[in-house]
Structure 1
C-alpha cells in the first residue's frame, strides 16, 4: 500500500477517535448538568415537604388551642347557667328580690364591672343588656 493510503487511514482513525473523545466529553457535561438539576429539584422538594409539615403542625396546634378555648367557653357558660339557677332558687321567696335596684347603686355596679373588664383586657360595655 502506498504511503498516501496509510496516511488517509491514519487520519480517518484519528478523526474517529477524536470524535469519540469529543462526544464522550460532551455527553458527560450534559450528564453533570442534568444531575445538578435533579439534585436541586430533590432539595426543593425536600424543602417544600418540610415547610408543608411545619404548616400542618402549626394548624394542628392552632386547632388544639381553638378546641381548648371552645371547651373552656362551654364550661364557663354552663357554670354561669348553674350560678344563675342557684341565685334564682336562693332568692325565689325573698321579697327584696322583686324590688328595683336604686339607679345610683346600679350605676356604681356597672362602673365597677366595666373597670374589671378594662383591667382584664376585655371590651367595655357602655350600656346595660335590658
Structure 2
C-alpha cells in the first residue's frame, strides 16, 4: 500500500463517519419536531372539544330562551283572548242597564289600567317575598 492510498481510505472513512453523524442528528431533530407537532395537535384537539362544548351550551341556552319567550307570548295571547271574551260577556250582561251607557271617568279608567299593569308585571316577577296587591 502506498501512502496516497492510505490517505484516501482515511478521508473516505472520515467522510462516511461525518455523513453518519449528520444523518443521526437529522433523525434526532426530525424526531423532536414530530414530538412537538404531536403535542400541539393534542392541544388543538382539546381546544376544539372545549369550543364545541361551549357552542353546544350556547345553542341550548338560546333554544331555552326562545322556548320561554314563545311560552310567554302564547300566555299573553291567551290572556288577551280571555279578556276579550270577558268584555263581550260584560257588554251582553249590561245591555239593558241604563247606567251602562254612561262613560266611565278618565281618572278611574287610568287607575284601573295602572292596577292591571301592576298585577301583570307582578305575575311575571319571581320575587315571592313581596305580598300580592
TM-score (norm 2): 0.74
- Give the gaps of 5 or more residues in structure 1: 123-130
1:12 maps onto 2:24 in alignment: no
For 1:27, the equivalent position in structure 2 comes to 30
1:111 maps onto 2:111 in alignment: yes
Give the Cα separation in 2 of the matches to 1:62 and 1:27: 52
Cα deviation per residue 1:27-79 (whole Å; 9 max; x = unaligned)? 11221222223223222221221121111101110110011001101110111
Give the total of aligned pairs: 119
- Give the gaps of 5 or more residues in structure 2: 123-133
Alignment of 1:1-130 (within 5 A): 1=1, 3-101=6-104, 103=105, 107-108=107-108, 110-111=110-111, 113-114=113-114, 117-118=117-118, 121=121
More moved, 113-122 vs 64-73: 113-122
TM-score (norm 1): 0.75
Task: Supply the RMSD in Å over aligned alpha carbons.
Answer: 2.4
Give the Cα separation in 2 of the matches to 1:32 and 1:14: 27
Give the Cα separation in 2 of the matches to 1:66 and 1:98: 40
